[in-house]
Amino acid sequence: MRGDTFVRSLDDGRKIWLEGTQITNLPEHPAFKGTLDTIRQLFNMLDDPSVQQIVGYQVGQSDRYSHSSFLVPYTGEQLAQRSRSFARWSQETHGMMSRLSDYARSIVTGWYAAREELGTLDPHFADKITRYYEEARDQDRFLTTAIIDPQIDRSKNLDDARIADRFLHVVRENSEGIVVSGAKMIATGAPYTHDFIISSFLKFDASNRNHAHVLIVPANSPGLHIVCRETFASANERNHPLSSKYDEMDAVLFFDEVLVPWERVLLYGDAQKVLTLRGNRTANALAFHQNIVRYVAKLEFVTGVAFAVAESIGAQGFLHVQEKLGELLTQVEVIKALVIASETQAKPDASGVLVPELSYIDTARNIGTKFYPRALEILQQVGGGGFVQAPSGVEDFYGPLSELMHKYFEGASVSAEKKVQLFKLAWDLIGSPLGARHELYERFYAGDPVRGYANQYAAFEKERLTDPIWDLLKRTSKEGKTLV
């Protein structure tokens, strides 16, 4: 099955660091085992006749299914097929795994789909992206992105020598490619990725040639170090049903003179061209569409947990609890409606690719930064002290206090054991290290939310709203002449 092939393929010499030690047996390490098992099962779905047509599509006449994130949508049905595939993987993981590579693969698919238009940026771009796209699709390559420069001193720019040295830059070039040094943050899913999509982030001056690039870098490149954050994985599935299988892991990447072959250098040396590629509407819309489809699954999951918590303690009949549960439903419906709007309002780009409407997607990504923290707040308000009232483990039910445990942890409508399991699950969402990481993720994964909202304003065609105002305020003289 493809899942096993995927897991085996990660034994490729990559350098993963955790707690000062280089990880040598990724699939068996407690920090990664549960998550890798989850990804293995997701990959296996492409070989399972009962679901492969939901998550995948057949390329040409081939019998083999590739993941639908590689499908270039030219029709409404193909766009719907992408959407179904994102939804299925998200539902399988309750929206808790966001970088299962379908996001980064969609960026590559978008660049490939728009290769003719983007070919004006570099004469080799179209050939390079075509070869990479086909290779990634046919080899089921797992991809993630690392775009942001390290958080050292955000008040400084590349004029500062310390910043220029720390941000990823070209140290030399040769006949084989460019050699880069510096760091990138944050790469979610880094230990499991085959290739990183790397790009400079800030709007650099034209003189900052060495810092302007868009690269595809294999995870096992010599000189590349994947430096993991603390693990939030738990081996105790009954106590931590989410942390035991969904810790995607986030990492910082250190590049110590890493050679990137010319074939994988998509752009280099021109900051404006990098910005143009990064702003490509086709690629962004296809990739950000995945973000919001995934988000529906996560909000539905939190809402389901909140409903169950309320019922389990008999709080669902209180008016203010109903108001809060209703608010969770409105969150789900708002994001769902924006997904539907982005799909039904999709329009073909210059090459005929059916591009989901980005304004609805931007709206969902922006408002989503506020929804998730609020959803967790509601969950806390509904469950009260029940989250910390739960005993240390469900094992307590089988110890000497078993009878009393069943008596005092009983719920309004569920057994004591079920109620404790439910509150453990809810605590994994609101109180565990993984839960805290998810709140941070939803606030920041799409970039700085302050600039996200500001960009939405900046990009909006404002006259559409201001012209009627000025028209209304137009004064007319007695003779009928317009004064303003």
Burial class (CB in 10 A: 0-12, 13-18, 19+), 334: middle
Q: Which two tokens stand for residue 356?
A: 């989901």
By CB under 6 A, residue 99 contacts ligand FAD: yes
**Phi, psi (degrees; rounded to nearest 5) at 185:** -130, 160
Pick 196 or 423: Cβ nearer ligand FAD: 196
Q: What angle do CA 135, 104, 207 make, to 5 degrees?
A: 100
For residues 144 and 210, which CB has a smaller minimum distance to ligand FAD in the complex? 144
Nearest-10 crossing angle of helices 358-383, 433-444: 150
Total Cβ atoms within 10 A of residue 389: 14
Burial 374-385 (b: 16+ CB within 10 A, else e): ebbebbbebbee
Say whether residue 17 binds ligand FAD (CB under 6 A). Answer: no
- CA–CA dist 440, 448 (Å, integer): 11
Q: How far is the CB of 101 from ligand FAD (least distance, A)?
A: 11
* Residue 349 is assigned to a ligand binding site: no
CA distance 69 to 108: 9
Task: Check residue 150 and report its DSSP letter.
Answer: P
User: With respect to ligand FAD, which residue has the nearer C-beta, 40 or 443?
Assistant: 443
Interaction of residue 93 with ligand FAD, rule CB under 6 A:
no
Closest distance between ligand FAD and the C-beta of residue 401, in Å?
39
Residue 217 makes contact with ligand FAD by CB under 6 A = no
153-182: which residues touch ligand FAD (CB under 6 A)?
154
Is residue 381 near ligand FAD by the rule CB under 6 A? no
Reduce the DSSP state of residue 247 to 3 states and report it. coil
Contact flag: residue 146 with ligand FAD (CB under 6 A) = yes
Comparison of 18 and 187: residue with beta carbon closer to ligand FAD: 187
- Residue 374 annotated in ligand binding: no
Q: Is 187 in the site for ligand FAD (CB under 6 A)?
A: yes
Query: Per the annotation, does 450 bind a ligand?
Result: yes
Place of tokens 């990098």: 274
C-beta of 95 vs 391, nearer to ligand FAD: 95
Q: In whole angstroms, how close is the CB of 145 to ligand FAD at the nearest point?
A: 4
The span from the CA of 395 to the CA of 401, in Å, is 10
Size of the site for ligand FAD (CB under 6 A): 20
Selected binder of ligand FAD within 51, 448, 455, 456 (CB under 6 A): 448
* Residue span binding ligand FAD (CB under 6 A) among the ranges 89-97, 147-155, 211-219, 360-368: 147-155
Q: Does 365 bind ligand FAD (CB under 6 A)?
A: no
The answer on whether 428 is annotated among ligand-binding residues is no
Shortest approach of ligand FAD to residue 99 CB, angstroms?
A: 5
Beta carbon of residue 435, minimum distance to ligand FAD (angstroms, whole number): 12
- Under the binding rule (CB under 6 A), the answer on residue 453 touching ligand FAD is no
Please, is 162 exposed, middle or buried when counting C-beta atoms within 10 Å of its C-beta (0-12, 13-18, 19+)?
Answer: exposed
Query: Would you say 278 is a known binding-site residue?
Result: no
Residue with smaller CB distance to ligand FAD, 17 or 444:
444
Do residues 172 and 187 touch, judged by C-beta distance below 8 A?
A: no
In the block, tokens 């991809």 appear at 143
- Asked if 445 is part of the footprint of ligand FAD (rule: CB under 6 A), the reply reads yes
Q: For residue 188, which of 74, 121, 104 has the smallest C-alpha distance?
A: 104
Q: Give yes or no for residue 447 binding ligand FAD (CB under 6 A).
A: yes
CB of 104 to ligand FAD, least distance (A): 8
Q: 335-358 b/e with 16+ CB inside 10 Å = b?
A: bbebbebbbeebeebeeebbbbbb
Interface contacts to ligand FAD, rule CB under 6 A: 99, 144-148, 151, 154, 186-188, 250, 437, 440-441, 444-445, 447-448, 450
Which residues fall in the annotated binding site? 151-154, 188, 448-451
